[in-house]
Structure 1
Amino acid sequence: MRFRDSRLLRTVLCTLLVLSGNVFALDWTHINYHQVWVCPGGGPIPTFEEPACKTQSFFSSDPQGQAIWLKARLHLSEHWQERTGPYAFYLFAKASSEVYLNGRLLGTNGRVALDGQQELAGRMDTRFYVPTDVIKEGENWVVMHLSSHQSLLRLSSPLHLAALGEYQNSTEYFGIEPHIQLSILCVLVLGVLYLLILRLSPLRAQIPAGLLWLFGIAAVQLALEQLRGWISYPYPLHDVRLILILLCALGFGCGLLAYLLRSCQVLINTRLTILALSMSLTLLMVFFSPGFDQKTTLAVAFPVLVGILVSGRYYYQSRTNKALIFVATQCAFLLASILSVQSFHSLLFYIMVTALLGVFLGLHIRHLGELQIQSMIDQQAIAKLQVKLAQLDKTDAQQYLKLTFGSSTERIDIGQLIWCRAAGDYVELHLEGGGERLYSGSLKSLIEKLPATFMQVHRSYLVDLDKVRKVALNKDKAVAGYAFLHLSDGQRVPVSRRLIGQVRESIE
């Protein structure tokens, strides 16, 4: 079979989704979606043989901005005679409606009219009670009168489902999926609360606001996505819901790319340029994309594609596990976005959203753990320094340091020692007057032989605090280092950001 019309292909795909998309729909009998008769609406029920009538698919029928009559076959097999009911006819459509089955009016949903002033908006997903004496085995005929004048958006397919089934809530058609996604929503909300608690803690600087934004916007988008599965609402609100979902998708895509650019240590100017160009292209593609499902997918997928390129370059430069995790999770997320486009972001999509954000959160939790371990090490060093400072008065007035090289030994007056710097297996000793010596050993072993006035102020530097003349923050961005200690010999050494407060207290 050759598909010559893309609408026919879309009809087939939509039919497959409707017939196999959920558990509850398996017990429903759907109308013949492939062939319906459509006539202009507003008057009495037509014979559907008028010249203005035409035959087309159910999903390509369009009541937006007009009123139409629609007639369709409903074939019931023998098993319907074995049931006792009650039954209902379900109509999921962005329209006001009235439905007839085998010539009998089942009910109205809003008020159908030729213009928006006369129309009363119906519900997006509705049901009509069907008496058991109306239906019969074999061919049944359904006639629907539809109008849709109160829309903000014009959808390519405003009619979604028409079927006969057991009488139940119309929202139950969506099956167990909303309940599963409610669990996912709870996970996202817990992530938001956890990040808020961290942002209020002393470690707030280590938790980027972008991650909190991503969790929050994903939770809002998921709630909007599943609103239709939780409650039945008037059809004009469907457009508002779709617009909010699209804005959430754009916000999530933009926030995700900004977060990745920051995490991959891209320079601020380059970061802003990439973000501006990417979001401009995303907005253009979203604007010109024909379908709403495609718009929301592009709003997320294109920024993710750019993020994959950025993360790939970061991995090529750093060869770190973090960069590799970024690339792998984004590729899986992009695949989930593409696979879920026909089902308007299904359960798979939001599972991948939660997994992606969970990976990001896990990386930050690991980083916080490393910072806490380092903080404990620093606190131990500070406590050790405080003990040595307390014992300062007990030190000898004159002390010496022995340096041994082979068979020769040299004794250095510690009072002449100003600062030390680690140099591989040795330590450079810088003395007053510009003299230099080498100590064979580590910085850690050296500090144990020196008086309490010496403090390790950096990973590679040891300083006699009595020789510090000034502590100054680094204002020269061209030179690395947070702050410097200016010493009595005119030299300056870097000081760790974590220890600068302790250094200031020690020299005051």
Structure 2
Amino acid sequence: MQYCDYQRLRAVFCTLLLLVSANSIARDWTHINYQQIRVCPGGEVIPNFEDDACTTQSFFSADPQGRAIWIEASLHLSERWQEGAEPLAFYLFAKASSKVYLNGRLLGTNGRVSLDGEHELAGRMDTRFYVPPGLIRTGENRVVIHLSSHQSILRLSSPLHLAALGKYQNSTDYFGIEPHMQLSVLCILLLGGLYLLMLRLSPLRAKIPSGLIWLIGIAVVQLAAEQLRGWFSYPYPLHDVRLVLILVCAMTFGFGLLVYLLRLCQFDTKVKLSVLAPVIGLTSMLVFFSPGFDLKTTLAVSIPALAGVGVACWYYYRHRTGKALLFAATLGVFVMAAMLSLQSFHSLLFYVMVTLLLGVLLGMHIRQLGELQIQTMADQQAIAKLQVKLSQLNKTGTQQYLTLTFGSAAERIDVGQILWCRAAGDYVELHLDGGKERLYSGTLKSLIDKLPGTFMQVHRSYLVDLDKVRRIALNKDKTESGYAFLYLSDGNRVPVSRRLLGQVRGTIE
């Protein structure tokens, strides 16, 4: 198991964090006057906005959910909009079907606006309307919007998100670099999940926590749902489905993270339940009563993470382990970032922090696996040494013989006389004390099974009795094969492969 290059990982994550701030690129848009618009009940024709049934309010408080409404707003444009030669569009991001007029001219429809849900055709969540040349004027422009939203699953506190004039482009371009950054984070999470799945298929399967794989999987699903709006302009009823999916994933991730920490700290069932029950209850209550899905999503993760800080600190107080301190510090930074940006934390910053958090957990497990593999190799060498010692005792206690056949003839030789063996095609050369040589009819592998445990394969073609080894030396002559040589009691030397050198040296020493 090779350790991760932590310097490179740190550089990648720092780059992601820098690009989060780069997302505040100035976009060339002019918005309507959001603070003061006129709202009238819906009808088939444009109403008189001075009527007593109409009210003055902010754009974001206007609510077409379950009804149809008319909106009148002012759009103030400078002279540069008249001078530009590029095509223009009016953008409307709202959970509603819509029809837009600019300076008395219909720009287009998005779905079909209706007074009832039976006749309404759901429009796109984020849409644009082409603005013909010469329609806009310097100064005040009158925007009238007809809206209805009868097919909503949820009732949002603010279903209207944006109304602005800009250059004609895809409506998803408004989100700028953020969807691309989210995609980068998504790829990092997917690679981490695939890496863990590969480890689960390895001999170290039992040491890979399935909880960490589930946490990465939940984060991937949540991020995929989050960035959907940045890539596709979907029908507005799907916006509610997307929000519910994000919230469910956030709550599942938060509770799953706390369960993972409790299991990692090896608390008993009673302690786990005494921590989980109040945290789940408090989080569910805060999520239910909090306004807006942005705040709900942030609280769904940050409250269990805050409880996780307490769990890690308690474990550190009891056991004084660096692992618990690292957990507490990482979760503390996560919670602090969430508290300092409650309304915006759910976007790119949230997923960067989640990736960093999961990266820390993954790095700790990789380190543990590395330590485990080192210990396993040490145990294997100790077992090999013990087997050699047992074989030596068996050799001294009883004399062993190897029968060699030559056609109809046979010869028995004392195994103790064999110094080393070399494969030669369908035969194996046996080199004995006194410079004698014999041939064994068979492969090196079949010969190993007939010899005591003091014999060890040190090269693809060589087998040596470790009792006859006097010293080991590295091969300084690169023209000769073998990474190192074993010097035997008869003065001969046998090559050792690089792959087997550590095991040979550990067994001899």
Question: TM-score, length-normalised on structure 1?
Answer: 0.72
Tell me, yes or no, if the aligned pair for 2:82 and 2:136 is still in contact at 8 Å: no
- Give deviations 1:234-268, integer Å, cap 9, x for gaps: 00000000000011001100110011111222223
| Paired residue secondary structure (2:360) | helix
The residue that corresponds to 1:359 in the other structure is 360
The residue that corresponds to 1:413 in the other structure is none
Tell me, yes or no, if the aligned pair for 1:24 and 1:173 is still in contact at 8 Å: no
The residue that corresponds to 1:375 in the other structure is 376
Paired amino acid for 1:249 = A
Tell me, yes or no, if the aligned pair for 1:78 and 1:137 is still in contact at 8 Å: yes
Paired amino acid for 1:80 = W
Q: 1:326-345 to 2 correspondence within 5 Å?
A: 326-343=327-344, 345=346
The residue that corresponds to 1:126 in the other structure is 127
| Paired residue secondary structure (2:343) | helix
Tell me, yes or no, if the aligned pair for 1:22 and 1:173 is still in contact at 8 Å: no
Quote how far apart the aligned CAs of 1:343 are: 2.5
Mean Cα deviation higher: 282-291 or 204-213: 282-291
Quote how far apart the aligned CAs of 1:342 are: 1.6
Distance 1:224 1:358, change over 3 A: same
Gaps of 5+ in 1: 1-19, 398-451, 453-508
Distance 1:119 1:137, change over 3 A: same
Across the two proteins, how many residue pairs are aligned to each other? 379
The residue that corresponds to 2:203 in the other structure is 202
- Give deviations 1:65-116, integer Å, cap 9, x for gaps: 1100001010001111220120000000000000000000000000011111
Mean Cα deviation higher: 317-326 or 273-282: 273-282
Q: Distance in 1 between matches of 2:25 and 2:44?
A: 36
Paired amino acid for 2:311 = V
Q: 1:83-102 to 2 correspondence within 5 Å?
A: 83-102=84-103
Q: 1:10-29 to 2 correspondence within 5 Å?
A: 26-29=27-30
| Paired residue secondary structure (1:367) | helix
Paired amino acid for 1:146 = L
Q: Distance in 1 between matches of 2:26 and 2:144?
A: 21
Q: Distance in 2 between matches of 1:41 and 1:323?
A: 59
Paired amino acid for 1:276 = A
- Give deviations 1:2-36, integer Å, cap 9, x for gaps: xxxxxxxxxxxxxxxxxx99556620100000000
| Paired residue secondary structure (1:380) | helix
Paired amino acid for 2:94 = A
Tell me, yes or no, if the aligned pair for 1:63 and 1:147 is still in contact at 8 Å: yes
- Give deviations 1:177-231, integer Å, cap 9, x for gaps: 1101100000000111111111111111111111001111111111111100010
Paired amino acid for 2:31 = H
- Is 1:291 the counterpart of 2:305? The answer is no
Distance 1:22 1:166, change over 3 A: farther
Quote how far apart the aligned CAs of 1:320 are: 1.7
The residue that corresponds to 1:279 in the other structure is 280
Tell me, yes or no, if the aligned pair for 2:42 and 2:68 is still in contact at 8 Å: yes
- Give deviations 1:355-383, integer Å, cap 9, x for gaps: 00000000000000000000011000100
- Is 1:391 the counterpart of 2:386? The answer is no
The residue that corresponds to 2:158 in the other structure is 157
The residue that corresponds to 2:506 in the other structure is none
Q: Distance in 1 between matches of 2:25 and 2:337?
A: 24
Tell me, yes or no, if the aligned pair for 1:92 and 1:125 is still in contact at 8 Å: yes
Paired amino acid for 2:227 = Q
The residue that corresponds to 2:118 in the other structure is 117
Paired amino acid for 2:156 = L
Tell me, yes or no, if the aligned pair for 1:87 and 1:165 is still in contact at 8 Å: yes
Paired amino acid for 1:259 = Y
Distance 1:24 1:166, change over 3 A: farther
Mean Cα deviation higher: 123-132 or 343-352: 343-352
The residue that corresponds to 1:322 in the other structure is 323
Tell me, yes or no, if the aligned pair for 1:36 and 1:56 is still in contact at 8 Å: yes
Distance 1:121 1:285, change over 3 A: same
| Paired residue secondary structure (2:169) | coil
Distance 1:348 1:155, change over 3 A: same
Q: Distance in 2 between matches of 1:389 and 1:302?
A: 59
Higher relative contact order (CA 8 A, sep 6+): 2
Q: 1:38-53 to 2 correspondence within 5 Å?
A: 38-53=39-54
Quote how far apart the aligned CAs of 1:389 are: 1.1
Q: Distance in 2 between matches of 1:255 and 1:26?
A: 39
Tell me, yes or no, if the aligned pair for 2:337 and 2:345 is still in contact at 8 Å: no
The residue that corresponds to 2:4 in the other structure is none
Q: Distance in 2 between matches of 1:175 and 1:159?
A: 20
Tell me, yes or no, if the aligned pair for 1:282 and 1:298 is still in contact at 8 Å: yes
Gaps of 5+ in 2: 1-20, 399-452, 454-509
Q: 1:398-409 to 2 correspondence within 5 Å?
A: none
- Give deviations 1:431-459, integer Å, cap 9, x for gaps: xxxxxxxxxxxxxxxxxxxxx9xxxxxxx
Paired amino acid for 2:184 = S
The residue that corresponds to 1:433 in the other structure is none
The residue that corresponds to 1:257 in the other structure is 258
Q: Distance in 1 between matches of 2:65 and 2:197?
A: 44
| Paired residue secondary structure (1:343) | coil
Mean Cα deviation higher: 23-32 or 132-141: 23-32
The residue that corresponds to 1:64 in the other structure is 65
Distance 1:68 1:21, change over 3 A: farther
